[in-house]
A and B are shown apart, each in its own frame.
Chain A
Amino acid sequence: MDSGAFSDSTVSILLAGGGDGFVVIYDVCCPPGPERHTFPSVGTVALNNRHRHKFSVETVLWYPLDTGMFTSSGADCMLKVWDTNRLKPADEYQFSGIVNCHHMSPIATRHCLVAVATNSSTVKLVDLKSGSSSHSLKGHDTSVFVVKFSPYNEFILASGRHFKAFMITDYNSVVTGRYYYGTSGMRRAASYSLTSTMGGNPRTYLKITVSALSHNNAVNGLQFSSDGIHIVSCSTDNAVRLWNTSTGKNVGVDYGAISNRAKKCVQFAVSDGCSQDLVFIPNDTRRSVDALNMVTGKREYSLTGHYSYVNCCLYHPDLNELYSGANDRNILVWTPKTFSSQYRNVRKRRRERVEFKCTEKQPKRSTEKHDSKITVSSTAKSSISNGISAGLSGIETTGGANTALTADSWSSDEDT
């Protein structure tokens, strides 16, 4: 899996994109239990689908409000909007360069924009309603690796670029009336975003540039905290930093060195609803997922189980599960140990990393598909890189049953 995005309302459906151009949908809402080892796949966009991506799928994303639609983008420079039921693209957008990442605002009510980060220096905004990649946000020098919408303000977008900085763009007034009516406003918005830092309409209202506190190399991962106050960035300079989105200042938390050598978007996760939020970030040297305390920066534990580089992590806020996809063709699901049964065991265990136990694996079917793919197409990379997207739908499913699981041990001790 390469990257993924997930929108906040889904509980049950996981979307995974593979390095072979496949997209697989899993139902992760099976009743949890010890015997549950492999998720069934609900639908796949596989070799037999002529609409599939030609090369690896970098990002997959559910439409925030509904699982009837999802978007995917990949190295074949395409952004595709899929009809989930028919597994056929409803719309396709071609870009000049490889699409590194795309994102939709999870809370957007007033616009329906997809921000697309490509190898070119501009961030394109695609309006699904008008069906056009209407305008672009300039400000980066080279290719943009990652874009992220804020989870609390639909008009704030963060983008990480190839070199040393990322910026947060607010184009609040884009939509204030004029967006819907013509392209002129959008152009203005683009120009505003470039030119001024005043309180005008769409603008680059924060630009975090080269400084002692910023990254020294390409920023390839961004993630908002669940409340949207902070944003975590990771970079190929092996640093992870925490920024305040309102001030644009580095909070100054030292996370230590997290090896990161991916020249593409790294999707990492920030936990939601824990007493102290954790950042789950892939560590390349150890091939593990490190859980960092977002506030203190301390590494709480690392989840080892993958045998190759981890591409993406995805946190499910309701199940409190973590999904990690790696080049070894596995998606592992990490569940917290529940308080009642295993907490005392945890106390006895000497190592903290046992707290997460790997319970599940990638569905067998998709593994087989990957194999067959590799034998057929020689152009595909030998390793699988895919994207997951946790789909949304069936909000509030079986909440009572799952809340028992949410007594996670990483949120430490005192929640009873």
Chain B
Amino acid sequence: MTSINYEEPLEELMVALIGEILNWYTVLFDVLFKPIVLVAMSEELDETVCKQMKGLVELLSTSGKPILNQEVMKKFKKLCRTSDAYVNHAFELLMQQLHIKHAEVRLSVCQMVDELFHRSHVFRELIIEDLQTFIDLTTGLNKLVCLPAPKAVAMKMKELAIKTVYLWHDKYGPAYKKLALGYEFLKTCKQVEFEGVAADVALERRKQEETERKLEVARQDRLAKVTNQMSDLQEDIELCVTEVENGLELLMPTPDQFFIPVAMETSSEQEVTSSITSSSNNQKVISSESNSLENSFKLSSQTLSNAPSNEDSQKSKLCDQKSDCDGENVGEDFLQSLCKCGSKIDHIEEFSVISQGRDISKKTCKHCQDEPIKTVGNSEYEKESDNEDTADSDGFSQQHGLFNHNFSLTINVGGVSEPRVEETEDNKDIIEDVRGKYRLIKNRFLPKVKKWVETLTENKGDKVHIDQLLDLRVRLETVVKKCVELEIKAARRAVEEEDSDSEFEDVPDKDGYEEDIPEHKEQGCVIEEGESTGHVDASVGTKDKKKSLLEKAPVVAFGVDIEHWESPDKIKPAAKVRYDDASRFWVAERDPDDLETGEQGGSEEVASLTRRTFTYTGEFEPVKWKCRAPLSNGKLCERMDRVKCPFHGPVIGRDNEGQPTEAEDIDRLNRERIHREIEEASTSNGDNSEGGARGKGKGKGKGKAKKRKYPNLTDIQDTETSRSRLEAKIFNRTTLRKVNNALDAASMKKLAEKFSNQFNYIFTDQHKITSVFTDQHKITTVFTDQHKITSVLTDQHKITTVFTDQHKITSVLTDQHKITTVFTEQHKITTVFTDQHKITAVFTDQHKITTVFTDQHKITTVFTDQHKITSVLTDQHKITTVFTEQHKITTVFTDQHKITTVFIDQHKITTVFTDQHKITTVFTDQHKITTVFTDQHRSLQSSQTSTR
């Protein structure tokens, strides 16, 4: 604001002023609403990404492994890299995870933090801001914050965290003040010995450098070696390749070489005549040289010589070519031109042509050599004349390689299946040479070059070298490919095949008859013969052999198995003789098995016939060694097995500690152990589920084994001690039940021995019983004396006399019973007859009853004597005679009853008949009644003598 110029127009001033004010407002806004802005930023995060991040953090931290999964970590880092907000989110996630009380989780989180720390400045700032928490949770240097279980991992984590802080400080200490402060704090106040860590780190670095240096040296060595080899061999290889290439070119010219520039073609026609002489001269030289020159030259001359047999127009070109090119290329040029004339002729056709030409050349070769000039000259001449005939009329067609309009070339593509170089006398040497070189390249050079390229690229070799080698390799490969295409290799093979075929002899067809019988066959024959004819007639040689064998063979008594030596299927068990008809009475019951198997002969019986027992003739040698495998209790296995211990495998040499001494045994055991561990690790989840299945299978309903959320982590809840293991075994429900059953059975047995079948005398004296007779019994006399009973006879019983004497009963006869006499004497009863019963005489004597007959009963005589009753017959009953004598009753007949005779004697009744009843005779005697018949009743003969 101070810089505002007052001479400026007012508008500008205002604008500047407003700008300034706005600026300040934004400042203010920022200062005041920063938290809000923060919230808004966190909202910007993509929810799915956040979820993914959370999943990754969880996955990484609960892996339970000492080293992070780098792939997952990379993914996580990639997510974090999107923006600072995600880094912030990651920090929050990690800190949240760091608070989980599990050392393995924390270790993993610590590693993750370390990785992110090196990557992100924002993360560094966040972590350093909260460095105290991080240190507390990972190092356990704060006495108030204990490191979580498992202890071993926690110690490892502590070391790692201290090292991490050291490395952080080493790298970022100067840049981050608080980190340096934290480092100082750990060093001075917590007495963390960073010197040791520093030494470790330095050592590690030195080691790494050392290994790197070694690797470097090795690399250099390898490079030097390769370059040496290269310098030695490269020339050879190149030479070889060139040779092969040249040879192949001779054998099979490529289509490129057929190319002739159009200008040359046209000019050739004009020059034809002039070139005749020169060409003939050339040819002269060529032909003269051809005798002494190599094959290739010969070939060219061959093609040249057979030119007359081919198309005329080509010959003119050929002459032309001859003047331009040297003699060696002549043949190829010819072929080129050939190719041009049939512009779409492919390889196959060319070769057929070539071979054709060669065939012809064979014939004409001699002639050509004898009179080369003449032949060529002739041909040239003919050609020329032909050309002159057609040149004017067919100028167009000439230009396009067509001879005339009537010309038709039939190309038989399918005729010759593959390009082949047929070996002839003439090209034999070339082919041989190429073949040899090919073999050399294929077997020696190509692999070598490939290897060099590999080593060079691996060891960062010189680029020029690599390029060279790559070129060379391409060349070699193309050569090899060509050779394969040309079937030079195949040809070689064919030769070999021929050779190998010749190894086999021709065997004449014998029509099944063999003069020489192999010995093993002969034996069979003899026995067969013996069987069939009963008399052995063998040759002398076999007899000797037989004798020597017989001497060795053990002597065995003749048996069924020997009888049927050749055809063991025919053995049949001896039929059992059954005396069915012998007697009407004394017949053994036939076994059903016999019935089935008797006829066919059981396999067991057959086996019993064929099997032989031999007595062991050797002497018994007692086992003098022990297994001596180390046991868990520190002792050695005492089993004395001859070969293999059923617990510890084969018996092997072991030292005093029980460790195997032989190297191969150690190896084998190690392998087995590793295998086992892997299997255990891989099926650790399966174990859990199996456990659950087992629990289900037994039908205990104990509940499935709880599946842990993070199966990779060590279960820190599971504090497995020897005590807990023993407890689990001893207090196992099944074992407890087993033991209890055994004890019960023992006591029951004891009781049964003493009191079995003495039911009449059970409960003769005072007992305190809780529940007896839960199921159907047939009882005559029970409870003769004073008992204190809570619940008896819960189910259907047929009882004649129960409770003859004073009892204190709470609930009796809860279900259907058929009772004749119950409660003959004084009882103190609370609840009796809760359900349907068929009762004849109940409560014959003084009872103190509170609730009787709560449900439907069929009762004949109830309450024959003085009773003190509070509520009787609460529900529908069919009663004939109730209350024959003096009773003190409070509430009777609350519901519908069908009563015939009630209250025949003096009663003291307060409330009777509150509901609908059908009563025939009520109150025959003096009663003291307060409220009777409150509701509708149908009384036939009622209140005869009742007094109110």
- Residues of chain A lying within 8 A (CB to CB) of residue B410: none
Of the stretches B6-14, B66-74, B176-184, B485-493, the one at the interface is B176-184
One of B131, B181, B189 near A361 (C-beta < 8 A): B181
- Residues of chain B lying within 8 A (CB to CB) of residue A413: 24, 27-28, 31
Give the docked Cα–Cα distance between A307 and B131 (Å): 9
Give A261 Cβ to nearest chain B Cβ, in Å.
12
Judging by beta carbons under 8 Å apart, are B177 and A358 in contact? yes
Judging by beta carbons under 8 Å apart, are A307 and B177 in contact? no
Chain B interface size, under 10 / 10 to 19 / 20 to 34 / 35 or more: 20 to 34
Give A149 Cβ to nearest chain B Cβ, in Å.
34
- Residues of chain A lying within 8 A (CB to CB) of residue B177: 305, 357-359
Give the docked Cα–Cα distance between A308 and B129 (Å): 14
Judging by beta carbons under 8 Å apart, are B188 and A370 in contact? yes
Tell me if B204 is interfacial: C-beta within 8 Å of chain A: no
Judging by beta carbons under 8 Å apart, are A330 and B132 in contact? no
Judging by beta carbons under 8 Å apart, are A347 and B30 in contact? yes
Taking CB as reference atom, which chain B residue is nearest A330?
B181
Tell me if B37 is interfacial: C-beta within 8 Å of chain A: yes
Give the docked Cα–Cα distance between A329 and B182 (Å): 11
Judging by beta carbons under 8 Å apart, are B27 and A304 in contact? no
Tell me if B199 is interfacial: C-beta within 8 Å of chain A: no
Interface residues of B in 127-163 (CB under 8 A from A): 129, 131-132, 135
Taking CB as reference atom, which chain A residue is nearest B181?
A305
- Residues of chain B lying within 8 A (CB to CB) of residue A383: 189
Give B187 Cβ to nearest chain A Cβ, in Å.
10
Give the docked Cα–Cα distance between A327 and B189 (Å): 9
Q: Is the interface of A mostly helix, strand, loop or mixed?
A: loop
- Residues of chain B lying within 8 A (CB to CB) of residue A361: 181, 184
Interface residues of A in 344-397 (CB under 8 A from B): 347, 350-352, 357-359, 361, 367, 370-371, 382-384
Judging by beta carbons under 8 Å apart, are A304 and B129 in contact? yes
Tell me if B565 is interfacial: C-beta within 8 Å of chain A: no
Interface residues of A in 234-291 (CB under 8 A from B): 287
One of A332, A347, A357, A371 near B27 (C-beta < 8 A): A347
Tell me if A328 is interfacial: C-beta within 8 Å of chain B: yes
Tell me if B545 is interfacial: C-beta within 8 Å of chain A: no
Give the docked Cα–Cα distance between A359 and B178 (Å): 10
Give the docked Cα–Cα distance between A403 and B182 (Å): 32
One of A287, A329, A352, A414 near B189 (C-beta < 8 A): A329
- Residues of chain A lying within 8 A (CB to CB) of residue B189: 307-308, 327-329, 382-384
Taking CB as reference atom, which chain A residue is nearest B25?
A413
- Residues of chain A lying within 8 A (CB to CB) of residue B132: 287, 304, 307
- Tell whether A350 pairs with B37 under 8 Å between CB atoms, given A329-B189, A413-B24: yes
Tell me if A412 is interfacial: C-beta within 8 Å of chain B: yes
Judging by beta carbons under 8 Å apart, are A412 and B185 in contact? no
Give B635 Cβ to nearest chain A Cβ, in Å.
50
Tell me if B34 is interfacial: C-beta within 8 Å of chain A: yes
One of B181, B185, B188 near A371 (C-beta < 8 A): B188
Interface residues of B in 157-198 (CB under 8 A from A): 177-178, 181-182, 184-185, 188-189
Chain A interface size, under 10 / 10 to 19 / 20 to 34 / 35 or more: 20 to 34
Give B275 Cβ to nearest chain A Cβ, in Å.
89
- Residues of chain B lying within 8 A (CB to CB) of residue A330: 181, 184-185
Give the docked Cα–Cα distance between A330 and B185 (Å): 8
Give A16 Cβ to nearest chain B Cβ, in Å.
16
Judging by beta carbons under 8 Å apart, are B188 and A329 in contact? yes
Interface residues of A in 200-234 (CB under 8 A from B): none
Judging by beta carbons under 8 Å apart, are A350 and B34 in contact? yes
Q: Is the interface of B mostly helix, strand, loop or mixed?
A: helix
Tell me if B38 is interfacial: C-beta within 8 Å of chain A: yes
Interface residues of B in 1-55 (CB under 8 A from A): 24, 26-28, 30-31, 34, 37-38, 41
Give the docked Cα–Cα distance between A383 and B189 (Å): 7
- Tell whether A307 pairs with B182 under 8 Å between CB atoms, given A347-B27, A371-B188, A412-B31: yes
One of A328, A347, A382 near B185 (C-beta < 8 A): A328
- Residues of chain B lying within 8 A (CB to CB) of residue A328: 181, 185, 188-189
Give the docked Cα–Cα distance between A413 and B30 (Å): 11
Give the docked Cα–Cα distance between A339 and B13 (Å): 24
- Residues of chain A lying within 8 A (CB to CB) of residue B135: 307
Judging by beta carbons under 8 Å apart, are B188 and A358 in contact? no
Taking CB as reference atom, which chain A residue is nearest B30?
A347
Give B338 Cβ to nearest chain A Cβ, in Å.
82
Judging by beta carbons under 8 Å apart, are A358 and B181 in contact? yes
- Tell whether A307 pairs with B185 under 8 Å between CB atoms, given A287-B132, A350-B38, A358-B177: yes
Give B85 Cβ to nearest chain A Cβ, in Å.
10
- Residues of chain A lying within 8 A (CB to CB) of residue B188: 328-329, 367, 370-371
Give the docked Cα–Cα distance between A307 and B139 (Å): 14
- Residues of chain A lying within 8 A (CB to CB) of residue B41: 350
Give B44 Cβ to nearest chain A Cβ, in Å.
13
Judging by beta carbons under 8 Å apart, are A305 and B178 in contact? yes
Give the docked Cα–Cα distance between A304 and B130 (Å): 9
Give the docked Cα–Cα distance between A347 and B30 (Å): 6
Give B587 Cβ to nearest chain A Cβ, in Å.
102
Give B37 Cβ to nearest chain A Cβ, in Å.
7
- Tell whether A308 pairs with B24 under 8 Å between CB atoms, given A350-B34, A358-B178: no
Taking CB as reference atom, which chain A residue is nearest B141?
A307
Interface residues of A in 305-338 (CB under 8 A from B): 305-308, 327-330, 332
Give the docked Cα–Cα distance between A305 and B31 (Å): 23
- Residues of chain A lying within 8 A (CB to CB) of residue B34: 350-352
Taking CB as reference atom, which chain B residue is nearest A350?
B38
- Tell whether A307 pairs with B181 under 8 Å between CB atoms, given A350-B38, A370-B188, A383-B189: yes
B112-132 vs A: 1/0 string, CB under 8 Å? 000000000000000001011
Give the docked Cα–Cα distance between A367 and B942 (Å): 116
Give the docked Cα–Cα distance between A303 and B41 (Å): 23
- Residues of chain B lying within 8 A (CB to CB) of residue A352: 31, 34
Give the docked Cα–Cα distance between A351 and B130 (Å): 14
Residue from the set A305, A327, A367 with the largest chain B CB neighbour count within 10 Å: A305
Give the docked Cα–Cα distance between A343 and B857 (Å): 100
Give B867 Cβ to nearest chain A Cβ, in Å.
72
Give B183 Cβ to nearest chain A Cβ, in Å.
10
Give A309 Cβ to nearest chain B Cβ, in Å.
11
A-B contact pairs, 5 of them (CB 8 A): A304-B132, A328-B181, A330-B181, A347-B31, A352-B34
Q: Which residues of A contact B (CB under 8 A)?
A: 287, 304-308, 327-330, 332, 343, 347, 350-352, 357-359, 361, 367, 370-371, 382-384, 412-414
Known: A328-B185, A383-B189. 19 other contacts (CB 8 A): A304-B132, A305-B178, A307-B132, A307-B135, A307-B182, A328-B188, A329-B188, A329-B189, A330-B181, A350-B37, A350-B38, A358-B177, A361-B181, A361-B184, A370-B188, A382-B189, A384-B189, A413-B24, A413-B28
Q: List 8 tightest A-B contacts by C-beta distance, closest first.
A: A307-B185, A328-B185, A347-B30, A328-B189, A305-B178, A358-B177, A413-B27, A307-B132
Q: Which residues of B contact A (CB under 8 A)?
A: 24, 26-28, 30-31, 34, 37-38, 41, 129, 131-132, 135, 177-178, 181-182, 184-185, 188-189
